[in-house]
């Protein structure tokens, strides 16, 4: 990636492919990019420190070596990956106006952004399954979700994301592109790159839609079904206190699901159907989708999970005592 306002083209008969794309910050607010970078830096720092803190606490606290917190660790690692994928290009534009990104580098960034998004969706489904088993079958919970089972679920999640998205970069590389090379965001996104092509993109649109519906779409449906079953179980509990206690263990996860899926669905709708949506709205929804969840998830779980909160306080007390 380098500071450049022009791109060169490779010509092969009627086949055109840009050597690079030009990314965009926040449209209409280019003069304020240095100031806008301040809240972005705060969000990135919160995401990096918060997720590292979650991983550190879970690793060091023996009582948190349970399936629920193993899945939370997976969520934290995924959030760190998303942050590290977008941080260099986003801050590069805000600080140095480095808009140019090489074609292959753009496809690589796009691939990892989409993989990590799919993994996050699958981890949220695994966490919903964890809550369903813990509430509906508490006695069988340790035998169903063993450490081996959790590892197998984690590997299956990674494999599903990698395999399902593997054709996407190759489908984009086969396309002939127009002379326009300006993307809509400060990161590379499949529909954004696809819409710059002059060729027929029906295969890309169809494959992208099928993959989205069969992975993230199905994840969301199964998460909803899990909570329907959880609510049925909770209603059957004897006392109101038991009911509230059971539901309270799900609050953090419900918040994480909403924070992730609402902007993701919004961004997908904008790219596929929102041709007349203002560029500023498109940009803000995209940043909300990729930056807000990694920053908020550690805060949500630190506030709502008493085990995480107590472990964090113990760690802080030990640190202050060692300083004295």
pLDDT digits (tens, 9 = 90+) for 121-157: 999 999 999 999 998 888 899 999 999 999 999 999 9
- Segment holding 163, helix H or strand E: helix 147-165
Share of the chain above pLDDT 90, in %: 61
pTM of the model: 0.90
Beta-carbon contacts of residue 151 (< 8 Å; ≥ 6 apart): none
pLDDT digits (tens, 9 = 90+) for 40-64: 999 999 999 999 999 999 998 888 8
Joined tokens for residue 318: 């030990």
Provide the mean pLDDT of the chain.
Answer: 88
Q: Which of 265, 48, 38, 85 is nearest to 185 (CA)?
A: 85
Of the candidate ranges 126-135, 168-177, 192-201, 269-278, the one whose mean pLDDT is the lowest: 269-278
């Amino acid at each position: 990636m380098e500071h450049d306002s022009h791109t060169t083209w490779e010509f092969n008969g009627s086949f055109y492919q840009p050597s690079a794309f030009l990314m965009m910050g926040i449209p209409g607010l280019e003069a304020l990019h240095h100031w806008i970078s301040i809240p972005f830096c705060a969000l990135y720092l919160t995401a990096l420190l918060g997720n590292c803190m979650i991983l550190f606490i879970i690793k060091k606290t023996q009582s948190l070596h349970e399936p629920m917190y193993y899945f939370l660790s997976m969520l934290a690692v995924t959030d760190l990956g998303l942050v590290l994928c977008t941080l260099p290009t986003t801050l590069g534009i805000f600080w140095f106006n480095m808009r140019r990104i090489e074609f292959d580098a753009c496809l690589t960034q796009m691939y990892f952004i989409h993989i990590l998004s799919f993994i996050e969706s699958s981890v949220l489904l695994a966490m919903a399954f964890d809550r369903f088993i813990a509430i509906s079958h508490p006695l069988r919970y340790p035998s169903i979700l063993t450490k081996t089972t959790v590892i197998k679920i984690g590997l299956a999640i990674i494999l599903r994301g990698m395999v399902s998205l593997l054709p996407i970069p190759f489908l984009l590389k086969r396309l002939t592109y127009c002379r326009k090379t300006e993307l809509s965001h400060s990161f590379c996104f499949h529909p954004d790159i696809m819409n710059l092509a002059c060729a027929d993109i029906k295969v890309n649109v169809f494959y992208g839609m099928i993959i989205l519906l069969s992975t993230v779409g199905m994840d969301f449906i199964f998460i909803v079904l899990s909570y329907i079953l959880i609510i049925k179980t909770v209603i059957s509990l004897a006392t109101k206190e038991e009911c509230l206690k059971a539901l309270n263990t799900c609050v953090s996860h419900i918040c994480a699901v909403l924070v992730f899926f609402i902007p993701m669905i919004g961004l997908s709708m904008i790219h596929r159907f929102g041709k007349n949506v203002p560029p500023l709205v498109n940009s803000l929804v995209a940043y909300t989708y990729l930056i807000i969840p990694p920053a908020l998830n550690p805060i949500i779980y630190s506030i709502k999970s008493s085990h995480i909160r107590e472990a964090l306080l113990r760690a802080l007390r030990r640190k202050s005592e060692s300083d004295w």
